[in-house]
Structure 1
Amino acid sequence: MAPRIGIIGLGNIGHIHAEHLESLAAEGVVEVAGGMDIASEACEHFENRFGVRAYEHPEVLYEDVDGVIIATPNRFHEEYAVSAFDAGLDVLLEKPIGHTLESAERIVAAAETAEGNAMVGFLNRFNDAVKVFKDYQREGRFGEVTHVEANYVRRRGVPGRGSWFTNREISGGGALVDIGVHAIDLALHLLSYPPVEEVNGVTRSTFGGRDDYTYLEMWGEDTEGTFDVDDSASAFIRCADDRTVSLEVAWASNRPPTTEFVVHGTEAGATLDLDGNLTIYETSSEGAPHFTDATVTTRNRPPMRSELRAFVDTVARDEPPRLNTLEQGLVVQRILDGIYRSSETGRAVSVQGNALSVSD
């Protein structure tokens, strides 16, 4: 019998999850069992679009599902994740784990004693170009990967000024929390998740609060709500064995947009991006000294659909996920917190196990 999956949080992200689940349901591997949102109009819209029941209270949904996807604003992740764990369900938790480090730590602690398993929504690990890179990496093609330049920069891309995305009390942060979390996770994934030792960074709010903010399109709507978050960040992350990450993140900037990741390896390097492009750079003296640039072309399947298939497989097998663990999500959450602390103090932040401390 196919696992029955419910969705908590029926906004834009919840609908995107449901659309991909519909595609998987057509293959017979999952059933979209229902949804939940505190807004009655969101429930009605979800029911009309997907033909399944939606509820305003999670307990009713929990009775009829094997797992849930939590796609609420960040502040409410803890409430629903903990209650889903208490109900014995498997959970796919959209990134970041929580709106604060303390909330994320409580979620992870609850998961440790829960019957169900949990994944974090780092969908870019399921990008076909990333999968190809990782297979070549395991074969030793790149030698030792020592540094990743991680870029997730938009020219204009604030996801709705005045929405919950731009209210720090609800979101936990701005561009760094929204898209920087993806860049950090993917960079660490390309480095095979080494222990993090130190974080140094600066966050800025330059564009989003301006009356003359000019854009061509926006994910959400431009409203009169709060904008008290960062819209860009620059950071340097130092890991064990001198492996490093340089990070550039922006919702808005006066430069071309990019989602390029540049990987430095001792035997070969690579550039890849979130559009599925991958180029490998190698040198050789065979025959004559030469450079080789190899362009890799993939099917570029939707990474969220691949991520959801992995979650459904986790639910069906009743086994912990092979990727996107809560423990890795907590590492990313500590880095987010460290960058904000570093920006506030002007100093590097040391990461020692579970503890963060501002360097002297």
Structure 2
Amino acid sequence: MSEASTGTGTGIGIGVGIVGLGGMGQLHASNMRQEGADIVAGVDLVKEQRERFGTEFGAETYDSHEAMLDDESVDVDVVVVTTPNKFHEPIAVAALEAGRHVLVEKPLGHTLESAERIAAAAERAEGICMVGFHNRHAASAAMFDAYKSQGRFGRLTHVEANYVRRRGVPGPGSWFTNPDLAGGGALLDIGVHAIDLALYMLDFPDVIEVSGTARTTFGTQKEYADPDGFGNNWNATVETYEVDDSVSAFIRCADGRTITLEAGWATNRDPSQEFHVRGSNAGAQFEIGDSNLELLEAGTAGCDHYADTQLTGDTSVTGHYEQDRVFLETVVAGDEPTTNTVDEALTVQQVIDAIYRSSETGRAVRLEDTHKATRTLD
């Protein structure tokens, strides 16, 4: 491993290389430097991005991940992948085969087959691989986990998962709206977070069957109102896309547990990131990634009554930072990951694939059929 960092952290002797130096790459680099890692390398096709990153972090920069991995003068122990979805596979597989540890942003791949190849490479690799589902690490989720471990909720039965924007289609001509680069639209961009968090709260039960509808509504309209300028005042008469902008789905899991999903970049409804978790003894509600949690209970003491408890979490506990801290902690300890695992990410990808297949066929899709439909790996 590389020498200890001289930054704001304590110095943990890990050299980090970031592939994809946009906002997410910058965030990971800042988090990991604060935790004591040494940001030694950055990769991006855009020269200005490389120059800015190199100046801020004192890192060597490259225009390809191959050049970074081949440079023996720079000690890269960890590779963080924050590129468009299509490039997750070649970068993650190359890094794993080169003996590096990998943190790859969600989704695992742009297609199920690509995700499976990453999973196969991770299985063979000496290094660990984790996937960037940061909302599990937010304060709301941490408090939920603690009360769940105490048995407060009883048996969890259902999760209502929402990640819906009123107007929030990514920018014109961006890779987010390019099906070749992204693999999908709102479902792969933000719906993936909601699916992962819902399954995580149910302890990743076996998924039996999925039914869903993916819609492309707003990208084909001649006029698209964008009052907040989310997509840089995107004009649909100039820029169109062939990806979904909203999705509704029902996910049936083992032992009668279920998930309903609403995800959308653009919808004619109030935006919502609300999660509602139902259990036999109590329920919970919160906003995805938030610091607060509300417990919903009822009792008979004195008289029949509702008992709602507002929990105010530590706002300094952010999902992105805690995720990066846990990843580095796992690397330092040399342990197998216990959260954000590739197997969990692969399950999420299978659900996404099943939603798209259900939408195409107009029928429910059983997960065992999805497994059979995927290509055989080499």
Shorter-chain TM-score bucket reads over 0.9
2:204 partner amino acid: Y
Structure 1 residue 58, shift from structure 2 partner: 2.1
Question: Contact 1:208 / 1:252 at 8 angstroms: preserved in 2?
Answer: no
> Does 2:267 match 1:260?
no
- Give 1:247's aligned residue: 261
Q: Secondary structure at the match of 1:97?
A: coil
Structure 1 CA distance for aligned equivalents of residues 233 and 372 of structure 2: 36
Q: Secondary structure at the match of 1:252?
A: coil
Structure 2 CA distance for aligned equivalents of residues 52 and 41 of structure 1: 14
With the length of structure 2 as denominator, give the TM-score of the two structures. Answer: 0.89
Structure 1 CA distance for aligned equivalents of residues 174 and 145 of structure 2: 37
> Does 2:304 match 1:292?
no
> Does 2:283 match 1:269?
yes
Question: Contact 1:161 / 1:208 at 8 angstroms: preserved in 2?
Answer: no
Q: Secondary structure at the match of 2:126?
A: coil
1:231 partner amino acid: D
For structure 1, which segment, 301-310 or 328-337, has the greater mean C-alpha deviation from structure 2 after superposition?
301-310
- Give 1:327's aligned residue: 343
Q: Secondary structure at the match of 1:352?
A: helix
Q: Paired residue for 1:73, among 84, 95, 113?
A: 84
Structure 1 residue 135, shift from structure 2 partner: 1.1
Q: Paired residue for 1:49, among 56, 60, 70?
A: 56
Question: Contact 1:350 / 1:356 at 8 angstroms: preserved in 2?
Answer: no
Unaligned runs of 5+ in 2: 5-11, 374-378
Q: Paired residue for 1:180, among 191, 200, 203?
A: 191
Count of residues in Structure 1 that have an aligned counterpart in Structure 2? 353
Unaligned runs of 5+ in 1: none
Question: Contact 2:158 / 2:257 at 8 angstroms: preserved in 1?
Answer: yes
Structure 1 residue 17, shift from structure 2 partner: 1.8
Structure 1 residue 220, shift from structure 2 partner: 6.5
Structure 1 residue 57, shift from structure 2 partner: 2.7
> Does 2:28 match 1:17?
yes
2:230 partner amino acid: M
Structure 2 CA distance for aligned equivalents of residues 6 and 54 of structure 1: 9
Question: Contact 1:269 / 1:282 at 8 angstroms: preserved in 2?
Answer: yes
Question: Contact 2:220 / 2:240 at 8 angstroms: preserved in 1?
Answer: no
Structure 1 CA distance for aligned equivalents of residues 23 and 116 of structure 2: 27
2:327 partner amino acid: F
- Give 1:169's aligned residue: 180
1:128 partner amino acid: A
- Give 2:229's aligned residue: 217
With the length of structure 1 as denominator, give the TM-score of the two structures. Answer: 0.94
Structure 1 CA distance for aligned equivalents of residues 369 and 286 of structure 2: 30
1:13 partner amino acid: M
Structure 1 CA distance for aligned equivalents of residues 234 and 49 of structure 2: 20
Structure 1 residue 356, shift from structure 2 partner: 5.5
- Give the percent of matched residue pairs that are identical in Structure 1 and Structure 2: 49
- Give 1:127's aligned residue: 138
Two-structure CA RMSD over aligned residues (Å) = 1.7
Structure 1 CA distance for aligned equivalents of residues 121 and 164 of structure 2: 34
